[in-house]
Chain A
Amino acid sequence: MRAILIDDERLARAELRRLLAAHPEVEIVGEAANAADGIQQIAALKPDLVFLDVQMPGGSGFDMLAALDEAPEVIFTTAFDQYALQAFEVNALDYLQKPIQAARMAAALQRCALRHGRALAYAAAGVPAVAPMAARKLFIKDGERCWFVGLQDVRLFESDGNYTRVYFDKHKPLMLRSLNQLEERLDPQRFFRASRRHIVNLDYVDQVTPNDAGGLDLLLRDDLEVEVSRRRAAQFKSLASL
């Protein structure tokens, strides 16, 4: 796995480097000392894994992730930021407490490799050409709360002004992205632009019924209803016949 270390303290990065020396499967391809630098490095180097300090000058690690179009695997490093971590919906979160113990590091890397491998396999089962993209996750920060969500878990994106509401599990937080910005990043084979307001994950479509306006009504799992405009209905049929 190709990894980037982001921490404002040189000694903290040195300590990570030393700990990672015991894990030859992790290749450190870059280092960053602040959020802005981190965003650049991630964009340029497209790492599989990021070690990210929660408290950083010029915006927290969470703010930095929220500014990314898609999030790589992340292992947070933190000294004592209990409140910040509580903001998190914990399921997808990996974090190491400083000073980092070698055994904890090994366990975190193992979990991470497992997740990464599973996501890659999942994507490979779809369309191989877009596999690396589909393996990515979305990081959403809505107010004080944060979520890491695999794209395969998102049922629906709904436009809400400059924001987009993201439906997954029992949650529907807002993220600061327009639907058009998101559409460019999503796998068109799985995510279908149903109308000006909606992008639907086709894996979650349960029922399709024609409506009076000449379009289609899609019923998603968990009773979400989405209308497909007439203009896009033909496109939907050709996709669905695949």
Chain B
Amino acid sequence: MTDDRPLIARLNWYWLFQLAGWLFLPVLLIAMTPGDAHTSRMLAIAFWGMAAGLLISDTWHRLLKRQIQNGVRVSWKAMMAAILVLGTIHTAVQTVGYLVIKPFGEVHGVAWVPGALMFWWGVYLVWNTFYMAVQSLRRANRLEQEALRLEISAKDAELRALQAQVNPHFFFNSMNSVRALVYEDRDSAALMIDQLASVMRYALQSGQHDTVPLAAEIEAVQAYLAIEKIRFEERMRVSVEIDLGLEQVRIPPMALQTLVENAVKYGVEASPTGSEIRIRAQRMDDGRIHIEIANLGAILPFANSTKVGLVNTRKRLALALGSNASLDLTENSGWVRATMTLPEAA
């Protein structure tokens, strides 16, 4: 398993801070004693203190961690008590060190005890304050991440619901046409029902995948167009051109279908003379793939619904294929073209 998080996230910040913090004490001690007192004994006691600090604080850290993982909230009172205990233990260990190493000669009397205690309590107060601050910062981060994750999964569910949506206007109009056709031409009626079933099945099932092969989507689009051809008759012409080798290119499900539905809505349904619907998929010189859907007409400035369809399709392209995929709507010499650009297929 590879860890592709950035370096800053992979570092063990706990030990970095531990070492840096405890190293600060011997450095401080060395800095504060006059140069002629720098003996090997003094260095020894300095690092003795550092080692004791690492050991005691790490043991305390493990204890705390277990408490936190068990969901026990450590109160400030318990914290203060712990600081007193930890400081006292460290003072004791340090006293042993002084008795054994004797960095500044023999230890005399007990006058130094309160000062030493106060110093180590202070050290552990700083340590614990810092530790708890980091903990609560992390908790806040985790909560934020959790909220983001929830938001993403909600958006995902919404997207799938959108994908599964069958255009009801199309559906009921088709039902009406098929009803008329039953009396006029039974074979055509039967064929239209088959095609309607394919369109419905594809619309309902394809949403389970992030991407589908272009060939599968084209098949559903062809069935859809066949139905619309029955409805609009000579008002609709269709041409589909897919370059060889592009059948397996992956696109988000219903992306092409949505754009073709738009083309029919604005090119054919809204125009008394109708339009040709041109679908063309080609590999460009730079290896990228263009899928173009064109219809006669103009981009209407107030057609809000196109914007919704476009924005959704754009979002789904980005989600499924990354930011290299794009969708553009252009108008040129009486044709409206929706062009999906897909990154070079792997």
* Chain A interface residues (CB < 8 Å from chain B): 8-12, 14-15, 18, 33-34, 36, 55, 57-58, 79-81, 97-100
B173 touches which one: A10, A14, A36, A79 (CB < 8 A)?
A79
In the bound complex, what is the Cα–Cα distance between A57 and B267 (angstroms)?
A: 10
A12–B232 Cα distance when bound, in Å, is 10
Binary contact track B228-244/A, C-beta < 8 Å → 1, others 0: 00111101000000000
Does any Cβ of A come within 8 Å of B270's Cβ?
yes
A12 CB to nearest chain B CB (Å): 6
Q: Which B residues fall within an 8 A CB radius of A?
A: 168-173, 175-177, 179-181, 183-184, 230-233, 235, 269-272, 274
- Are A12 and B172 interface neighbours, CB within 8 A? no
- Residues from chain B with a CB closer than 8 A to the CB of A58 are 270-272
Q: Name the contact of A33 in the complex, choosing from B170, B175, B180, B272 (C-beta under 8 A).
A: B272
Whether B179 contacts A99 by the Cβ 8 Å rule is yes
Chain A contacts for B171, CB-based, 8 A: 79-80
- Evaluate contact between A8 and B181: CB separation under 8 angstroms: no
* Contacts A/B (CB < 8 Å), 6 sampled: A8-B235, A15-B180, A36-B272, A55-B169, A80-B173, A81-B169
Asked if B176 contacts A98 (CB within 8 A), the reply is: yes
A-B contact count (CB 8 A): 65
- Is there contact, CB below 8 Å, between A55 and B269? yes
CA–CA, A58 to B268, complex, Å?
11
Which residues from chain B contact A80 at a C-beta distance below 8 Å?
Answer: 168-169, 171-173
Quote the shortest CB–CB distance from B55 to chain A (angstroms).
72
- B62 CB → nearest A CB, Å: 63
CB distance from A55 to the nearest CB of B (A): 7
- Cβ contacts under 8 Å, A99 to chain B: 172, 175-176, 179
Given contacts A55-B169, A80-B169, A80-B172, are A34 and B272 in contact (CB under 8 A)?
A: yes
Having A79-B170, A99-B175, one finds 18 other A-B pairs with CB under 8 Å, namely A8-B232, A8-B269, A9-B232, A10-B233, A11-B180, A11-B231, A15-B180, A55-B169, A57-B271, A58-B272, A80-B168, A80-B169, A80-B172, A97-B172, A98-B175, A98-B176, A99-B172, A99-B179
Q: Which of A8, A12, A55 is in CB contact (< 8 Å) with B272?
A: A8
Which label, helix, strand, loop or mixed, suits the secondary structure of the B interface? helix
CA of A58 to CA of B272, assembled, Å: 6
Determine which of A33, A36, A79 lies in contact with B176 in the assembled complex, contact meaning CB atoms within 8 Å.
A79
A57 and B172: CB pair below 8 A? no
Bound form: Cα–Cα A231–B183 in Å = 65
Residues in A neighbouring B183, C-beta threshold 8 A: 14, 18
- From the candidates B173, B181, B235, B272, name the one contacting A98 in the complex (CB within 8 A): B173
> Which chain B residue lies CB-closest to A83?
B305
CA A186 – CA B171 in complex, angstroms? 43
**Closest 5 interchain pairs by CB?**
A98-B176, A15-B180, A79-B172, A11-B180, A80-B168
List chain B residues, Cβ under 8 A from A79. 168-173, 176
Q: Which residues of A sit under 8 angstroms from B168, Cβ to Cβ?
A: 79-80
Q: Chain B contacts of A57 at CB under 8 A?
A: 269-272, 274
Given contacts A33-B272, A58-B270, contact A12 B169 (CB under 8 A): no
Is there contact, CB below 8 Å, between B184 and A14? Answer: yes
The complex places the Cα of A133 from the Cα of B313 at a distance, in Å, of 52
Residues of A within 8 A of B231 (CB): 9, 11
List residues of chain B with CB within 8 A of the CB of A100. 176
Choose one: A9, A34, A55, A81; the contact of B177 (CB below 8 Å): A9
Please measure, in the bound complex, the distance between the C-alpha atom of A78 and the C-alpha atom of B125, giving whole angstroms: 76
How distant is the Cα of A9 from the Cα of B272 in the complex, in angstroms? 10
Shortest Cβ distance from A12 into B: residue:
B176
Q: A160: shortest Cβ distance to chain B, in Å?
A: 24
Closest to A37 in B: B272
B residues near A81, Cβ cutoff 8 Å: 169
| Residue ID in chain A nearest B270 by CB atoms | A57
